[in-house]
Amino acid sequence: MANADCIVIQGSNMAEAHPVGFQWVTEAKARGAKVFHVDPRFSRTSAVADKHVPIRAGSDIVLLGALINYVLTHEKWFREYVVAYTNAATIVNEDFRDAEDLDGLFSGYDEESGGYDMESWAYEPEPGSGSGGTGVGDGTAGDSAREDGAEASTEAAGQQYGSGGPDVETHVPRRDETLQHPRTVFQILKRHYARYTPEMVRDACGIPVADFEELARTITENSGRERTTCFAYAVGWTQHTVGAQYIRTATILQLLLGNMGRPGGGIMALRGHASIQGCTDIPTLFNLLPGYLPMPTVEKQDLGTYLDSIASKKQKGYWAEADAYTVSLLKAWWGDAAHAGNDYAYDYIPRLTGPHGTYQTVEGMIAGDVEGYFLLGQNPAVGSANGRMQRMGMSHLKWLVVRDFQLIESATWWKDGPEIATGELRTEDIETEVFFFPAANHVEKAGTFTQTQRLVQWRHQAVAPPGDAQSELQFFHELGKRIRARLADSTDPRDRPLLDLTWDYPEDEHGEPDGEAILQEINGHQLTGPDAGTLLSSYTQLKADGSTAGGCWIYTGVFADGINHAADRTPGGGDGPQTEEWGWAWPSNRRILYNRASADPQGRPWSERKKLVWWDEDQGKWVGNDIPDFPVDRAPGSTPDPSLGGAAALAGDDPFIMQADGKGWLFAPKGMVDGPLPTHYEAQESPVRNPLYRQQHNPTRVTLPRKDNLSAPEPGAPGSDVYPFVFTTYRLTEHHTAGGMSRWLPYLAELQPEMFCEVSPELAAKRGLEPYGWATLISPRAAIEAKVLVTERMRPLRVGGQTVHQIGLPYHWGVGNDAVVTGDSANDLLGITLDPNVLIQGSKVGAVDIRPGRRPQGRQLLQLVEDYQRRAHLTVESGNEGVTGSHEEAGAEEATDRSERLDHESTDQPGAEE
Amino acid sequence: MARFSFLEWPVIRQFRTDDSSGRSSAVTSPTTRAIAPRTTTADRSVQSVCPYCAVGCGQKVFVTDERVVQIEGDPDSPISRGRLCPKGSASEQLVNASNRQTKVLYRAPRATEWQEMDLETATEMVVDRFLASRRNGWQDLDEQGRRLARTMGIASLGGATLDNEENYLIKKLFTAAGAIQIENQARI
């Protein structure tokens, strides 16, 4: 970021949530970079930005889509980059229909399943190439496409493909380098965003045209050969029912501007927790195995079917080697018990049949299917959406294990939770056994965190943990040893995977397993031949024949040459420009991904100022200031036979080496379950109609229509004025997530002692809210109280002729008796509706009413919530329509012209204010 | 106490010595001069990484008599260059806060209070329950007769301060046990 010429921070309050990282933004600004902050709320990030652009929460795709439109219509795109490195020239199947044609839906939508069949989004094959279109040349292609579409609503389908994205099946797609063919990705893109205009941004986002134009002008002036623009986002982009598409929109924009794979460019995900990147790389997630390999679904009954479903040997790039990564993982886990004769113990992995995410698990608890639950440094009673459902779910468990530093609310809900106060639960009736185990903290154990730029850093142990406190490593190693001992004599086949597991790690005198031994297993080693036992140095050494083992292919090399590179600590990172002697960045200690794109198609840096890696003709290889993210000896002009497949098929100008066609995807022919192009849909609870399409919501979003998870009525429906305001949630500098690591620390508790809400002076006047007094906030799920902070940082926005008031809520507090500071939890207000690609909840936009005074206590609190629900005519169907209008009775008025409809609805809406 | 001298007035000292800005030796008291920071008297310092957000700031953990006495920013880190935010600066209290829990606690069904329990007993009880719930929630096949080989009786939700090595063991053990509902803050 320090190398950027323009930085757009959107969906993040970086100065307050990532304060120390923000120093690099400050450095860039000191060198003359322009900094924009696009956010509903004016924060300390806005204060030091060149410009703050307030935006209506949940409307970012309109803004980003309009920037795409601006870049295209003003001819500001980076032509050589776009033509060579993206799929702009690729021609799409003639069956494809855009959201423009179908009023907010793409072709292939199946109303019954609520998902898409992606077949019509595919590339058109080059005539005579023999390249498989659907069903041609690859017998499984048609089947798999159908399967993905039909099951999209029940699977986390977007992550079925793993890190490389899906195979495109059309391995030699038809191209038009002039970009004029009407079915080129480029022309489709132009049409798709044509109505995303500055005026639409004004009406949908509440951003004045002049502000939009300043942003658009600054970004385009700071992109191209000589200059680069960087985007930074956090959960302000991900926590939406179209969250994954927010990032896709920025990707398209950055590809058009030529800002990917270059210094000072890119899209920076500012992740919120020490090793949340590591938690997805080496996942504790239901749908992934290490290294973004998908967990097998029930359809993948054997290893061959599984491998065919994630990658084809015919596709370009390194994802074609997924078989080597998979077999090496199976060898790491099951050793000699994994061999060619049993599909490398593939059957030892349990199968998925649908989404088994954390929110579905809570439903399983309430239904009585889940008996036992481990909480490992996580506080869902406060930190997860719809806190009441979380706590009620736990009250149905037989047993609960909480491992933490403190008695967090998720450990004590049975005696001091909000449902005890309302009388919904009675401690003496709750059957759940609760075990609290104290945990070792970050200085009491050794191991690695992976930070937000993929940098793996080793922490050395400073002291031993106190009392009974243990690391997760020790607890789970011990649990595994005891389970295996209990089952040692079992002949039941279901116990084989446990008994055959490699589970023999050296321990120190306190019983703590050696973290380096585990990191070595993750790194991988040679199993056979003269080098047997040698640690591997690159994932390219992994083999699919059982001769290598490796627990997570993208981490191969962290222990190259037997050295723990995560512990590399040359002060300042060494003399190199990429500080590569501090920690180790996956993959291969590479600091900027896809950096082949930093050079032109001939291999020369786009400019001296922005050079990173380049082709050295004399040496016949890629060289530069970073480790080249490309086959190092592949000359820029190479055009290998595409039928070779894998890395061998990558042409000299295919920088996106994990994509099946080597190109950056402006258009996603497969893999995104809610459409090949990002499209604006309103949030689950929005005060306005979608100004762009008849389709109000993401039609593939995952809803949980239940009485304990009600949604507000659609705008304009009876009762939609009952919850008239938008609330959005965020974090503070002085607290951390659900507070387990901050509300118990006296220093931090003193700095931010009380739950509060931020409201504009206009809203305070409208509702009679007193500064520093109390307010009660009521959503369709719950009511909470908060101290009132009246501030101009919150600004009412004019959207489509009505005023939208937004309320800001930090979400760190929880109800209990143990923390130094407690308070009502903002997440209790939230409902659960999920992004269909990644199953993350939309938690940045919700509907709420606010009124002065404290909330009622006990039963009366429930009555207040129920009274609002009655007034709003809520049912489990409210807000949960798939295709907009499908629930309306026959004979309802026909859809009118779009602009007319917008005018009509914005003036007729009961909740609207002029 | 030393005999009073006008020459020891801070403002005079400021001009007498080379501390003309009055921010160093000129404004120290004898008490200040007599003490040293805990960081200089520590037995050792250990390099670590801040456990809060994902920037990954370097920390130096100072240890005296096998006790953490201070945690400061690591100036050698090219990421953070010695800086820490309020949370990172407060992380010494994660270690030493007097309210920290260091004992195993158990709440029996319908009980109104915790009871203390020894680690060994609690661990064995968890093993019992793990095996029973694994069995109770076991599914061999789906309705079409396809292999599932899993249990729906056990779930887990982890935070994102878990180490990579810890996540690796958790996923490995749960997968081998057939438990699939293994989730993390990364979904949230």
Q: What structural domains and CATH numbers belong to chain A? A: 1-90+182-272+591-636 (3.40.228.10), 702-908 (2.40.40.20)
CA distance B34 to chain A (A): 27
Assess whether pLDDT exceeds 70 at residue A267: yes
CA distance B37 to chain A (A): 19
Question: Which range among A96-100, A133-137, A362-366, A468-472 shows the weakest confidence by mean pLDDT?
Answer: A133-137
Assess whether pLDDT exceeds 70 at residue A130: no
Neighbours of A643 (CB within 10 A): 13
Residue A664's SS3 state is strand
Inter-chain CB proximity B165 and A522 less than 8 Å: yes
Cα separation, A750 vs B53, whole angstroms: 20
- Per residue in A638-684, pLDDT tens? 999 888 899 999 999 999 998 889 999 999 998 899 999 999 999 99
Instruction: Report whether B144 contacts A351 (CB < 8 A).
Output: no
B97 reaches A (C-beta below 8 A): yes
| Domain extents in chain B | 1-35, 38-96, 105-187
DSSP chain B: -PPP-GGGSHHHHHHHSS-TTSSSGGG--HHHHH---HHHH-SEEEEEE-SSSTT--EEEEEEETTEEEEEEE-TT-TTTTT---HHHHTTHHHHH-TT---S-EEE-TT-SS-EE--HHHHHHHHHHHHHHHHHHTEEEE-TTS-EEEEEEEEEEEE-TTS-HHHHHHHHHHHHHHTEEEEEEGGG-
Of B76, B127, B185, the CB nearest to A273: B185
| pTM score of the predicted model | 0.92
Of A434, A478, A741, the CB nearest to B107: A434
Of B56, B61, B165, the CB nearest to A447: B165
Q: From the centroid of its chain, how far is CA A811?
A: 19
A348 reaches B (C-beta below 8 A): yes
Q: How confident is the model at residue A142 (pLDDT cuts 50, 70, 90)?
A: very low
- Per residue in A182-198, pLDDT tens? 999 999 999 999 999 99
Inter-chain CB proximity A298 and B104 less than 8 Å: no
Cα separation, A704 vs A207, whole angstroms: 33
Q: Which residue of B has its CA nearest to A473?
A: B166
Residue A880's SS3 state is coil
H or E segment to which residue A279 belongs: helix A276-281
Q: What is the mean pLDDT of chain A?
A: 91
Inter-chain CB proximity B185 and A429 less than 8 Å: no
pLDDT score, position A166: 64
pLDDT score, position A373: 98
Assess whether pLDDT exceeds 70 at residue A165: no
Cα separation, A265 vs A576, whole angstroms: 19
- Per residue in A703-761, pLDDT tens? 999 999 999 999 999 999 999 999 999 999 999 999 999 999 999 999 999 999 999 99
CA distance A904 to chain B (A): 38
Find residues 1-40 of chain B whose CB sits inside 8 Å of chain A: none
Inter-chain CB proximity A477 and B61 less than 8 Å: no
Q: How confident is the model at residue A886 (pLDDT cuts 50, 70, 90)?
A: confident
Q: Which residue of A has its CA nearest to B77?
A: A572
pLDDT score, position A149: 31
- Per residue in A639-651, pLDDT tens? 998 888 999 999 9
**Does ipTM come in above 0.95?**
no
Residues B79-114 as b/e (b if ≥16 CB within 10 A, e otherwise) read bbbebbbbbbbbbbbbbebeebbebbbbbeeebeeb
Query: Mutate which of A306, A378, A833 to disrupt the B interface (most B C-beta within 10 Å)?
Result: A378
- Per residue in A576-608, pLDDT tens? 888 889 999 999 999 999 999 999 999 999 999
Q: Which residue of B has its CA nearest to A285?
A: B183
Q: How confident is the model at residue B11 (pLDDT cuts 50, 70, 90)?
A: confident
Instruction: Report whether A728 contacts A809 (CB < 8 A).
Output: yes
Cα separation, A863 vs A833, whole angstroms: 24
pLDDT score, position A311: 87
pLDDT score, position A896: 35
pLDDT score, position A132: 42
pLDDT score, position A873: 96
Angle between helix B164-177 and A472-486 (nearest 10): 20
Would you state the structure tokens that stand for residue B167, as one six-digit string?
């996540």
Topology adopted by domain B38-96: N-terminal domain of TfIIb (2.20.25)
Assess whether pLDDT exceeds 60 at residue A22: yes
Sign of CA dihedral A248, A249, A251, A255: positive
Inter-chain CB proximity B83 and A20 less than 8 Å: yes
Assess whether pLDDT exceeds 60 at residue A898: no
A125 reaches B (C-beta below 8 A): no
Q: How confident is the model at residue A407 (pLDDT cuts 50, 70, 90)?
A: very high
Q: Which residue of A has its CA nearest to B156?
A: A374
